[in-house]
């Protein structure tokens, strides 16, 4: 298991080839929380050696998504494309040490050998043809500029290591053979660049998805050849959908920015991705990334895959929104609503009371913002359908208006008073159920959904309630404001 009693230096190393999908975002969050929990460092590396697929636009989007998520590195961003000289230097050292050698085999021959191995049901691997070239001949051909790759000389055997999550793992070296360090272009292979980078960056724990598990054996052989200390490896399960299929960029899975566009707050997304990994204690919404880090326990990271369920993420977002301090939401509303909105004329204490009352009825900030006019504006804007429905329920609206008539204009009903009044109005009008509540809600709020009517009666002054009902009971008094009047 990962030891969090000592500071861990970790890294997140994405490729800038597309949008940051939730699977990679989960790995970033887990690494950040591990660094914060242990008092260590979180580093960011851009693995842009795939020149055909990498782009500056994708990198910019990636960095924006991480910043929005709150995943910020504790040092400069490292880019592999700026470290080619370093990779070539280390590769040449391995050649000089006799741990690596140049391979002059043409690509068409190698491709034919790979195809033959696959046809025989074997793992493709280099047969070591150039490994036994006399050193003087090999160096002379290199100096002459003959195209070549550099390969690690891998001894037959088995690589055994203990993964902090998966336990003991064994990989025979025959599964990959002498693998490439530097391509003929001078660019490094993935496994070689990763080892040199992690070594130079001082990474002590590599926490990543289990799809990288098979790379670990190659990387451990490289650490051994370089005489460098290997980090601890921990491979978590993958993020999958409800059908058990892996989420990936190429399959069009939900991305971080798509979650942002859907209104999911960054802290909620971070908590959800960490929680479905089994490593977050408690179910209450987090108050900050620091709060998440305190609750993070890497020993509880599960071996199996984590199932992503959009409805669970949305449920957590609703719980987190409703757990917010009304005072904070009042400040957001102050900034979000236009200067002429009636909200700004309410006393501060009344604003706080109003938000606290509406909060349990709203799933997110935009819902709160759009619900407020029901209470703060003199009258809603009615659709043509709302006008027709309300006009068709004169008995219901008149019964409620009659019961409100003797009450003080500035009074607000308690839930018990509102319930009693509504029951009396149902008895008077001879109407109940949807036939009673639906037109009454439309007349009072302009919409067929929203807060409970008992709450509406408690938030809107009696005078305003009477005014809205009178628009329909006494239609010549004033025409109701419509936004889509149609015949």
Cβ–Cβ < 8 Å for 343, 298: no
The string over 375-390, giving b where at least 16 C-beta atoms fall within 10 Å of a residue's C-beta and e elsewhere, is bbeebbebbeebbebb
Query: CA–CA separation, 31 vs 196, rounded Å?
Result: 20
Burial 74-88 (b: 16+ CB within 10 A, else e): eeeebbbeebbeebb
pLDDT at position 108, please?
84
Number of H helices, E strands in the chain: 20, 14
DSSP 134-163: -HHHHHHHHHTT---EEEE-PPSSEEEEEE
Residue 486 pLDDT: 32
Q: Which tens digit of pLDDT belongs to each residue from 3-15?
A: 778 999 999 999 9
pTM of the model: 0.86
The pLDDT assigned to 475 comes to: 58
Residue 250: the pLDDT is: 44
Q: Are 400 and 426 in contact (CB under 8 A)?
A: no
Cβ neighbors of 124 (< 8 A, separation 6 or more) are: 113, 114, 117, 118
Per-residue model confidence (pLDDT) at position 484: 38
Cα dihedral value 355, 361, 363, 366, nearest 10: -50
* Residue 246 a catalytic site member: no
Query: Is 70:31 a contact under the CB 8 Å cutoff?
Result: no
Max Cα–Cα distance, the chain, nearest Å:
109
**Cβ atoms of 297 and 279 closer than 8 Å:** yes
CA dihedral defined by 461, 466, 472, 475, rounded to 10 degrees? -120
Beta bridge partners of 44: 12
Catalytic residue among 166, 246, 249, 432: 249
pLDDT by residue, tens only, the chain of 487 residues: 787 789 999 999 999 988 899 999 999 999 999 999 999 999 999 999 888 888 899 999 999 999 999 999 999 999 999 999 999 999 999 999 999 999 999 888 888 888 887 888 877 888 888 999 998 898 899 889 899 999 999 999 999 999 999 999 999 998 899 999 999 999 999 999 999 999 999 999 999 999 999 899 999 999 999 999 999 999 999 999 888 887 654 444 589 999 998 889 999 999 999 999 999 988 899 999 999 999 999 989 988 999 999 899 999 999 999 999 999 999 999 999 999 999 999 999 999 999 999 999 999 999 999 999 988 988 888 889 888 998 889 899 999 999 999 999 999 999 899 999 999 999 999 999 999 999 999 999 988 888 888 899 999 999 999 999 998 887 555 555 554 333 3
Angle between helix 415-429 and helix 394-404 axes, rounded to 10 deg: 130
């Amino acid at each position: 298991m990962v030891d969090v009693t000592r500071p861990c230096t970790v890294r997140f190393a994405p490729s800038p080839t597309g949008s940051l999908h939730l699977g990679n975002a989960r790995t970033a969050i887990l690494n950040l929380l591990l660094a914060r929990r242990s008092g260590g460092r979180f580093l960011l590396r851009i693995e842009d050696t795939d020149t055909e697929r990498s782009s500056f636009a994708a990198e910019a989007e990636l960095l924006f998504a991480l910043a929005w998520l709150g995943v910020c590195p504790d040092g400069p961003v490292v880019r592999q494309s700026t470290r080619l000289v370093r990779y070539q230097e280390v590769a040449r050292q391995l050649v000089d040490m006799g741990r690596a050698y140049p391979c002059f085999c043409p690509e068409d021959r190698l491709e034919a050998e790979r195809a033959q191995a696959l046809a025989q049901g074997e793992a493709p691997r280099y047969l070591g043809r150039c490994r036994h070239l006399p050193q003087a001949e090999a160096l002379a051909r290199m100096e002459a500029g003959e195209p070549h790759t550099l390969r690690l000389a891998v001894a037959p055997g088995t690589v055994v290591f203990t993964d902090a999550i998966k336990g003991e793992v064994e990989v025979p070296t025959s599964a990959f053979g002498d693998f490439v360090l530097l391509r003929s272009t001078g660019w490094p292979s993935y496994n070689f660049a990763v080892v040199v980078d992690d070594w130079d960056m001082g990474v002590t724990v590599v926490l990543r998805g289990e799809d990288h598990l098979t790379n670990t054996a190659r990387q451990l052989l490289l650490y051994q050849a370089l005489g460098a200390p290997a980090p601890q490896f921990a491979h978590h399960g993958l993020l999958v959908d409800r059908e058990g299929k892996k989420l990936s960029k190429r399959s069009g899975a939900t991305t971080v920015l798509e979650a942002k566009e859907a209104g999911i707050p960054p802290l909620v997304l971070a908590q959800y991705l960490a929680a479905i990994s089994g490593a977050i204690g408690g179910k209450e919404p987090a108050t900050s990334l620091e709060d998440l880090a305190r609750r993070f326990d890497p020993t509880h990271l599960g071996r199996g895959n984590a199932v992503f369920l959009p409805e669970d993420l949305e449920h957590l977002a609703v719980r987190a929104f409703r757990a917010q301090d009304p005072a904070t939401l009042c400040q957001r509303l102050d900034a979000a609503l236009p200067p002429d909105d009636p909200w700004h004329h309410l006393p501060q204490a009344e604003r706080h009371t109003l938000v606290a009352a509406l909060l349990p009825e709203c799933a997110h900030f935009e819902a709160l913002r759009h619900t407020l006019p029901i209470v703060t504006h003199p009258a809603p804007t009615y659709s043509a359908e709302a006008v027709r429905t309300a006009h068709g329920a004169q008995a219901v609206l008149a019964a409620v208006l009659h019961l409100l008539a003797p009450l003080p204009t500035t009074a607000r009903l308690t839930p018990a008073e509102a319930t009693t009044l509504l029951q009396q109005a149902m008895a008077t009008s001879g109407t109940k159920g949807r036939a009673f509540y639906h037109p009454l809600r439309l007349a009072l709020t302009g919409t067929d959904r929203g807060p409970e009517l008992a709450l509406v009666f408690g938030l809107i002054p009696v005078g305003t309630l009477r005014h809205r009902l009178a628009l329909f009971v006494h239609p010549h008094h004033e025409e109701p404001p419509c936004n889509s009047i149609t015949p």
